[in-house]
């Protein structure tokens, strides 16, 4: 009996030990069970778009798993994947509970995301040229796009485009450069150069100072393309875009290389006219006026040297600048030689020697922007036949200015063709008329000598004045003449009173300016 009691006691102790050992082992070797603590929710069931994914100990664990699932999906799709999803957590407070493995959670999340893929953004490159941008698939297409621009002017494929990191920028930006293939090959094949030092360096420098530079002959020049570069700033940036945002390479090349109408500033030079500027730039005069309507209103608007006009020129999105060494032969004109005459006005000239063209051989460095020549420098010249210069004698004195001969008045008839206002009047008006009451003071438009003062056929009472610059002014239909032939008059001096004499339709002053005996439009010469 005592033995049985002892056995039962030992058995109970064994059971307690076994339970305790099992509980201890569970705590030590099964970390997927959480310890109960009175601290609120300590287990979370994760729902992704309403689908149960598994159980985690913390919400942050689910967020990490979702990030990993997106990475897996991105690698699978081959780009940056946009997949929308809603994540929810159902929390509970438990004494013991089982959580799922991280790998299981990630796998289930990736499956849900796959079904919700909205779009995949492909790794691509955006090429920015000034304000223009185009998107292509990879760097190979970037290089082919830019290479197409320089190949338009490089038939022998002497230059190649390369991409490099722009270290001046904080972002990952690439820049494009144009490299000479000949220089690149020479650098690769060149043997190491050892710098001379000591006595050897001193001897080499001495001979360099003694030996004069030998002038190159025409045959020594490497004619053709000598330098090439992009004329616009090019930036290349890595980006992630949808497939439909990428431009096919052939279309991108056409966009970048095709000539577009672009605005450009043109500075007016001596001798320019609006019609001439429009013609040289392949514009209509109407289009030129519309682009510059704040400066010019019609084809008769005045322009001055130095004025800046907006014109359009055909240029591609990406311009290419280049230099070429060219050989040519040409006839040329010598510069005009001027002989100043201080007794003449600046509008008086006389040719003392007629010119004769010469002939020369030339090596020139010609600079281009696209197909337009922008500069030319002659680097070698050989005169085959000397040109004979033109010699011109010219005056240095500023000619007199001309003023309106009356104060007030209404411009009633302009210079040029017109309908005859009355019987006997000309249909081609050789001056201008100002309507004004009879008796208005008429003044000398410029200083000079009176050569006629009296009655003139058709003019009525008239005054002619010759001026020092060779011009003549005439004042007609006067009521009274106040000067006489041979009299010297000053500018603004009163010479007559207005009237209505001769062939006239009413009180007015008729005014003419003659140059070399021919009437010109007085409005072009009045200040």
Residue with tokens 């990406």: 318
Residue 5: predicted pLDDT: 42
Residue 503 shares a structural domain with residue 426: yes
pLDDT digits (tens, 9 = 90+) for 238-257: 888 888 899 999 999 999 99
Are the C-beta atoms of residues 367 and 323 closer than 8 Å to each other?
yes
Q: Which of 65, 86, 115 is the last residue of a domain?
A: 115
Q: Are 122 and 81 in contact (CB under 8 A)?
A: no
The Cα 410–Cα 9 span in angstroms is 141
- Check residue 50 and give its pLDDT: 85
The CATH number covering residue 426 comes to 2.70.70.10
CATH number of 331's domain: 2.20.230.10
The verdict on 345 and 414 lying in the same domain is no
| Same domain assignment for residues 414 and 520 | yes
CB atoms within 10 A of CB 134: 21
pLDDT in the model for residue 435: 94
How crowded is residue 115: how many other Cβ atoms within 10 Å of its Cβ? 10
Angle of helix 102-115 versus helix 59-77 axis, rounded to 10: 50
Q: What is the pLDDT of residue 215?
A: 79
Residues 506 and 454 in one domain: yes
Percent helix, strand and coil across the chain, each to the nearest 5? 25, 40, 35
Residues 417, 339 share a domain? no
- Indicate if 344 and 303 belong to the same structural domain: no
pLDDT of residue 28: 47
Query: Please, what is the Cα angle at 274 between 272 and 275, to 5 degrees?
Result: 105
Q: Collect contacts of 407-416 with beta carbons under 8 A, ≥24 apart.
A: 407/440, 407/441, 408/436, 408/440, 409/434, 409/435, 409/436, 409/440, 409/508, 409/509, 410/434, 410/435, 410/436, 412/508, 413/508, 414/523, 415/519, 415/520, 415/521, 415/522, 415/523, 416/521
Give per-residue pLDDT as tens, 309-322. Answer: 998 888 899 999 99
Q: Would you state the pLDDT for residue 113? A: 79
Strands 391-397 and 337-345: parallel
At residue 81, the pLDDT reads 61
Question: CATH number for the domain including 268?
Answer: 3.10.350.10
Residue 21: is it exposed, middle or buried by C-beta count within 10 angstroms (0-12/13-18/19+)?
A: exposed
Taking 70 as the pLDDT cut, the residues of the chain under it are: 1-39, 77-83, 116-121, 170-171, 186-213, 419-425
Q: How many domains does the chain have?
A: 5
Give 219's DSSP letter: G
Place of tokens 């970037």: 142
On whether residue 244 sits in a domain, the answer given is: no
Report the distance separating Cα 102 and Cα 218, nearest Å: 80
pLDDT value for 189: 64
Boundary residue ending a domain (99, 115, 131): 115
Answer yes or no: is 270 within a domain.
yes
4: domain range? 1-30
Same domain? For 419 and 520 the reply is yes
- Domain membership of residue 120 (yes or no) is no
Rounded CA-CA distance 368/55 in Å is 71
Q: What is the pLDDT of residue 241?
A: 85
| Amino acid 31: pLDDT | 45
Same domain? 267 vs 358:
no
């Amino acid at each position: 009996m005592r033995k049985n009691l002892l056995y039962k006691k030992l058995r109970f102790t064994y059971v307690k030990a076994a339970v305790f050992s099992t509980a201890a082992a569970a705590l030590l070797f099964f970390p997927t069970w959480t310890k109960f603590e009175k601290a609120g929710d300590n287990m979370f069931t994760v729902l992704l778009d309403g689908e149960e994914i598994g159980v985690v100990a913390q919400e942050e664990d689910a967020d990490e798993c979702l990030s990993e699932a997106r990475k897996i999906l991105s690698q699978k799709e081959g780009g940056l994947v946009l997949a929308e999803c809603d994540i929810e957590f159902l929390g509970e407070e438990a004494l013991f509970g089982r959580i799922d493995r991280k790998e299981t959670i990630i796998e289930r999340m990736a499956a849900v995301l796959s079904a919700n893929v909205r779009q995949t953004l492909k790794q691509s490159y955006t090429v920015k040229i000034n304000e223009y941008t185009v998107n292509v698939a990879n760097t190979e297409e970037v290089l082919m796009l830019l290479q197409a621009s320089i190949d338009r002017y490089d038939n022998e494929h002497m230059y190649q485009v390369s991409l490099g990191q722009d270290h001046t920028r904080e972002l990952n930006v690439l820049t494009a450069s144009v490299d000479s293939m000949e220089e690149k090959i020479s650098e690769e094949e060149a043997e190491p150069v050892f710098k001379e030092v000591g006595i050897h360096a001193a001897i080499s420098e001495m001979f360099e100072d003694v030996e004069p530079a030998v002038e190159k002959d025409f045959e020594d020049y490497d004619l053709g393309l000598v330098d090439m570069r992009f004329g616009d700033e090019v930036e290349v940036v890595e980006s992630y875009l949808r497939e439909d945002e990428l431009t096919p390479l052939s279309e991108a090349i056409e966009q970048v290389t095709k000539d577009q109408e672009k605005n450009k500033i043109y500075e007016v030079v001596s001798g320019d006219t609006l019609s001439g500027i429009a013609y040289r730039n392949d514009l209509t005069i109407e289009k030129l006026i519309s682009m510059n309507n704040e400066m010019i209103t019609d084809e008769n608007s005045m322009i001055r040297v130095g004025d800046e006009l907006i014109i359009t020129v055909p240029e591609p999105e990406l311009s290419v600048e280049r230099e070429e060494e060219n050989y040519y032969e040409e006839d040329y004109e010598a510069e005009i030689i001027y002989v100043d005459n201080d007794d003449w006005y600046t509008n008086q000239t006389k040719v003392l020697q007629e010119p004769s063209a010469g002939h020369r051989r030339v090596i020139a460095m010609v600079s281009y922007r696209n197909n337009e020549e922008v500069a030319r420098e002659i680097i070698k010249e050989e005169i085959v036949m000397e040109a004979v210069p033109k010699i011109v004698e010219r005056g240095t004195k500023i000619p007199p200015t001309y003023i309106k001969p009356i104060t007030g008045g209404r411009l009633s008839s302009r210079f040029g063709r017109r309908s005859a206002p009355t019987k006997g009047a000309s249909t081609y008006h050789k001056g201008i008329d100002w309507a004004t009451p009879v008796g208005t003071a008429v003044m000398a438009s410029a200083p000079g000598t009176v050569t006629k003062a009296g009655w003139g056929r058709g003019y009525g009472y008239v005054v002619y004045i010759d001026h020092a610059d060779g011009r003549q002014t005439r004042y007609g239909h006067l009521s009274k003449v106040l000067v006489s032939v041979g009299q010297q008059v000053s500018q603004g001096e009163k010479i007559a009173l207005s009237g209505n004499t001769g062939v006239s339709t009413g009180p007015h002053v008729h005014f003419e300016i003659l140059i070399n005996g021919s009437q010109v439009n007085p409005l072009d010469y009045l200040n």
